[in-house]
Amino acid sequence: MPVNAVGREIPSLVGGRHLVPYKGAFERHARGWKVPLPLKPTSYAPDKMVSSIDDSFDKCGITHGACLSFHHHLRNGDHVINMVMDVAQKRGLKGLKLAQSALFSVHEPIVKMIENGTISSIEGSMNGPVGRTVSEGKMHDLAILRSHGSRVRAIHIGALKIDTAFVAAPIADVYGNANGREGKSACGPLGYALADSRYAKNTVVVTDNIQPYPVMPPVISQVYVDWVVKVDSIGDPEGIATGTMQPTTDPMRLDIARQTVELADACGVIKNGFSFQAGAGGISLAALDFIREKMKKKNIKAGFAHGGITGHIVKMLEEGLIEKILDTQSFDIPSIQSLNSNPKHHEIEPDFYANPFNRGQLVNMVDLAFLGATEVDTDFNVNVNTHSDGYLLHGIGGHQDVAAGSKMTVITCPTHRKNWPIVMDKVTNVTTPGETIDAIVTEAGIAINPLRDDMIEMAKEANLNVIDIQDLARIAEQKAGGKAPEPNYTDRVVAIIAYRDGTVIDVIYQVKK
């Protein structure tokens, strides 16, 4: 079997699909043209309102084997995927492809639809129960995992062809203009649905909040929308926006956050006008607090912060520590409110933020990013998709994109979780290639990628606890009390981990129960 640039064996043909092995993070420069957009003239204001989701299936001609797409801004509060797929199931449709940007635990009803053949393939992120079902080999065809930027790329070049895009919209008008900013199901940005709405053959806006024309800004535009459906509720606010997210208080994790910020500072990253991306995890939020302190002490201001946004970043904007927020996804109520009211808080779309096949991505302009991992290995390869038992339980998010773009990418993680090491010789699956990772920060020290000898030198000069990655793996194994048990696989590939350029960085095998 051909071996790719991170040492993984990649079968040439899986389920009728030819796989191109990953060749390196910056090796593929496709040229040519995107797939054309559908042309659908309307001379008059048509009546786009349809009475039900069921009706929209007729209008869009959805039949067996169709590819239906969804976005994940409503996160674990989303009602729309289940509602739409329930209609599909009741209509007896089979062999559908689900092309969501992400699934959460709330989408557990999808499991049954996979088992009964309503859904036969998935291209999108899976968090939790659906991923487990795929790992167990219960889906007829393949799952394909892509990063945020890669998903837009795939839609643009026709690798992911969407028949009908369903856009869950917290506010919309009768002509199809929509955004995520207002209404009982407000979720902030709506950009993950944007490429879908443009490139799908048909686009349906599903809303619980019709307002007078025109809803502004038209993040989803009338120009691309065919039909609008009013339903009672598109989501549960409790699951959409968690009230407030909290930094870790665990001393070990706090130490990781502190070391991460010390590393960035030692390497000269935290300076006036710098930019950063931070997530919503406990370590990331704690690291933000340390950055904030450092910025105040230095009396400097960041140019911009990007990411899934939390109230912690909003607070820094309001304190004048950040010039602009660029928001692809709101994680909590304060960030939704800030997007609505603060002119320095901007919504951006994933094409702008991460698509490697366009002429400019935000990730390329980010100075510092800290990301998580389920596993990292001595080649600095990172796994965020599977656990050490081989189960597919998480999506890629923007992991590959940010790591490839950001000038400094730091993985923050403990050496182990319970009795499974996180740092190891070889990750169960590679999501993000080591060449795009600059450092791993753990409670047992900082491992810096040998490609960055400049960083190693600066970190040592600052007396940081720099440790060889091999030593770190040994410590992790000791602390965990041994290696994790090997996954028990069949020889069937159930999922492909695409790299952001469309090559295959790894495949996931079926797990024997």
Burial class (CB in 10 A: 0-12, 13-18, 19+), 273: exposed
Is 225 a binding residue for a copy of itself by CB under 8 A? The answer is: yes
**Which residues from 43-62 bind a copy of itself, rule CB under 8 A?**
43-46, 48
Q: Which of 3, 34, 293, 470 is close enough to bind a copy of itself by CB under 8 A?
A: 34
Is 213 a binding residue for a copy of itself by CB under 8 A? The answer is: yes
Q: Which of 3, 40, 319, 490 is close enough to bind a copy of itself by CB under 8 A?
A: 40
Structural contact between residues 194 and 349, judged by C-beta atoms closer than 8 angstroms: yes
Helix (H) / strand (E) element for 206: namely strand 202-207
Which residues does 143 contact at the CB level (< 8 Å), separation at least 6?
Answer: 121, 122, 123, 126, 134, 392, 494, 495, 496, 508
Which residue, chain included where needed, has tokens 């290696």?
483
Q: Which of 63, 152, 62 is closest to 398 using CA atoms?
A: 152
**CA separation for the pair 239, 242 (Å, rounded):** 6
Taking the complex as a whole, the smallest distance from the CB of residue 499 to a copy of itself amounts, in Å, to 11
**CA separation for the pair 428, 449 (Å, rounded):** 20
Is 38 a binding residue for a copy of itself by CB under 8 A? The answer is: yes
Separation of first and last alpha carbons in the chain? 26
Q: Which of 175, 276, 331, 509 is close enough to bind a copy of itself by CB under 8 A?
A: 175
Which region among 76-84, 93-101, 319-327, 471-479 touches a copy of itself (by CB under 8 A)?
Answer: 319-327
Which region among 219-227, 380-388, 391-399, 446-454 touches a copy of itself (by CB under 8 A)?
Answer: 219-227
Q: Which of 136, 163, 196, 226 is close enough to bind a copy of itself by CB under 8 A?
A: 226
Task: Tally Cβ neighbours within 10 Å of residue 137.
Answer: 16
Choice between 143 and 366, CB closer to a copy of itself = 366
Which region among 42-50, 250-258, 423-431, 440-448 touches a copy of itself (by CB under 8 A)?
Answer: 42-50
Q: Which of 16, 18, 32, 51 is close enough to bind a copy of itself by CB under 8 A?
A: 32
Q: Which of 6, 14, 19, 25 is close enough to bind a copy of itself by CB under 8 A?
A: 25
Is 157 a binding residue for a copy of itself by CB under 8 A? The answer is: yes
Structure tokens at 368: 């510092």
Q: Which of 216, 246, 298, 419 is close enough to bind a copy of itself by CB under 8 A?
A: 216
Choice between 223 and 252, CB closer to a copy of itself = 223
**Which residues from 89-118 bind a copy of itself, rule CB under 8 A?**
none
Taking the complex as a whole, the smallest distance from the CB of residue 63 to a copy of itself amounts, in Å, to 20
Q: Residue 104: how many CA atoms within 13 Å on its side-chain side?
A: 16
Taking the complex as a whole, the smallest distance from the CB of residue 309 to a copy of itself amounts, in Å, to 14
Tell how strand 119-123 and strand 102-103 pair up. unpaired
Burial class (CB in 10 A: 0-12, 13-18, 19+), 115: middle
**CA separation for the pair 151, 165 (Å, rounded):** 14
Taking the complex as a whole, the smallest distance from the CB of residue 27 to a copy of itself amounts, in Å, to 9
**Which residues from 343-372 bind a copy of itself, rule CB under 8 A?**
343, 346, 348, 351-352, 355-362, 364-365
Choice between 474 and 500, CB closer to a copy of itself = 500
Is 320 a binding residue for a copy of itself by CB under 8 A? The answer is: no
**Which residues from 402-441 bind a copy of itself, rule CB under 8 A?**
404-405
Taking the complex as a whole, the smallest distance from the CB of residue 217 to a copy of itself amounts, in Å, to 6
**CA separation for the pair 509, 14 (Å, rounded):** 11
> Collapsing DSSP states into helix, strand and coil, what is residue 16?
coil
Is 31 a binding residue for a copy of itself by CB under 8 A? The answer is: yes
Which region among 31-39, 53-61, 379-387, 486-494 touches a copy of itself (by CB under 8 A)?
Answer: 31-39
Size of the site for a copy of itself (CB under 8 A): 62
Q: Which of 23, 28, 184, 452 is close enough to bind a copy of itself by CB under 8 A?
A: 28
**CA separation for the pair 203, 69 (Å, rounded):** 9
> Collapsing DSSP states into helix, strand and coil, what is residue 290?
helix
**CA separation for the pair 382, 400 (Å, rounded):** 9
Cα-based angle 239, 185, 286 (whole degrees, multiple of 5): 45
**CA separation for the pair 502, 193 (Å, rounded):** 20
Is 273 a binding residue for a copy of itself by CB under 8 A? The answer is: yes
Is 214 a binding residue for a copy of itself by CB under 8 A? The answer is: yes
**Which residues from 444-503 bind a copy of itself, rule CB under 8 A?**
501
The 3-class secondary structure across 393-433, one letter per residue, is: CCCCCCHHHHHHHCCEEEEECCCEECCEECEECCCCCCCEC
- Which positions touch a copy of itself (CB under 8 A)? 25-26, 28-46, 48, 156-157, 175-176, 212-214, 216-218, 221-226, 273, 303-304, 323-324, 326, 343, 346, 348, 351-352, 355-362, 364-365, 404-405, 501
